[in-house]
Structure 1
Amino acid sequence: MCPPPALLPRPLRLRLTCLLLAAATPASAQTSSRSPDADWLELQSLLTRPANAATALARTPAGRAAARLDQIERLRLAAEQARTFRERHAGHPLAERAHRLEVMSRLDHARLDARPAATTEALEQAGAFRRDPGRLREQRFEVALAAERLRLEGGAAGRRPGADEQLAAILLREFGPAPEVLGLFAGLAGRADMAAANRLATQLLELRPPPALRAAAEAITSRHGLLGHPLGLRLTRLDGSRLELPTASPSGGPTVLYVWTPVAGSAVAPFVPLHSLRRLLPSGVTWVFLGLGASLEQARAASS
């Protein structure tokens, strides 16, 4: 038991007072003395930290699983650090950015973690962020895109059929024909199967996109229009004569058009992969080999 401070010599009284004040200071007040720069650097280090060298080089299933767990933990820590930054430095110019990084890290964490609880929590936070009119549209779109991809493509079932078209429709309803939405339509159409690509490109054209996106969408719809219709091509044979497509096959059978290019890495023997296929096809098939961008010398060398 310590004697009353009044009975102690003055130097000891001062020292005891300082110790009592330090003991009474809450931990939150002590940690709040950290500078914003230090907290931000810690957040950036979590977001950019390379994977553990041992797990990154692992080629075994166990190694890949360890690398996945490492990434899951890194994203969890990044989300927590981003939350700490925005709460500790609420008035800092980077606080808003930290909030976005927190939400995005939680979405990425939920995508890899695949636990329903993590997904639910991440989608709830993303929903609150999307509904905040004070956020920049670009930031709300980024979060909305990640959240809807998690909702449509995440989980044990994996990617759902028609997910791309659902994604585009949801974000169009939420943001209207914003530049980010138009770019999304173009990107999804470029990677989809031909039927889905045509539907996405047609919707994009109805939204009156800028010239570059319009040209890309029109190219997709034009290609789709060729399906089921004969090609109209005028080609030059190796001997200089002309070949018109469509044209009747001399044998009366179908015509197979094989397109190759000398820059595809198979200019030396581009038709070797066809040998096994040609043996399986019935007789009477006419083969036309079309070299895109090939010179006459390259075409002759490939056919020899």
Structure 2
Amino acid sequence: MNYIELSVEISPLEIGREITVAELAELGFESFDDFDKGVKAYIQEDEFSKEAVKEISIFKNEEFKVNYTINLIEDKNWNEVWELSFEPINVNNQCFIRAPFHEVRNDIQFNIEIEPKMSFGTGHHETTHLMIEELLEMEMDGKNVLDMGCGTGVLAILAEFKNAKNICAIDIDEWAYENTIENISRNNCKKIEALKGGAELLNNKKFDIIIANINRNILLNDMETYLSCLKENGDLLLSGFFSSDKEILLDEAKKYDAYLSNENNKNDWTLLHLKRN
């Protein structure tokens, strides 16, 4: 299938990029890739509307300077594209994330094979790297785990490798959902259930650990739902946002009796590890 690439240069950069991603996601854009001046967003050609893009609020907001270009990406062999550009990731010599064409690292405990395609969550982005580091330090034996906004499914797969009991991997993005199913199979996982949708799928579910690597606006909107699904003394891991958004997220979490247990940062990105009283 053909894709449209929308390349957006925006200033101020950090908040502008975050708002742009949130608004484009509502239009059906599936994947996002940060670059030094903004963000590139991708959507299937038959779902793209130039008129709808023109009408998103940040593009008409005088507080932001925005330039964007639209490019057609013709259908191609994504395996060949990734083979040229995808490098394996070694996280603390404990977790090795590789594509099918990379050699296995037998000296590292957790080897995860990912066919990334256009999905978010290969480990290259700071927020995914932060999540993996935190999960490597956690006890997960026998735990029920939710990976919200699962992308490639890499965090759900790591949870199974660390002996979680049941894992639910959810993403609203069709491409990510299908990619997660593929990667579950590639890694011979048996305990992961992949679902397509959002927080509405969480009714009456309870988890020991919730992983949410999503943008700030979704985290704020769904915080109450996440914490209502978290068992007493459970763990909520949040990332996908800039460090400047830390306090607003902590303030929202406090409304629902959650407190900060740990924090980690990488470049301009932050992970918050919350506990529920």
Shorter-chain TM-score above 0.5: no
Task: Write 1 or 2 for the structure with the bigger share of helix.
Answer: 1
* TM-score (normalised: structure 2): 0.25
* TM-score (normalised: structure 1): 0.24
Q: Which structure is higher in RCO with an 8 Å CA cutoff and minimum separation 6? A: 2
Q: Which has the larger radius of gyration?
A: 1
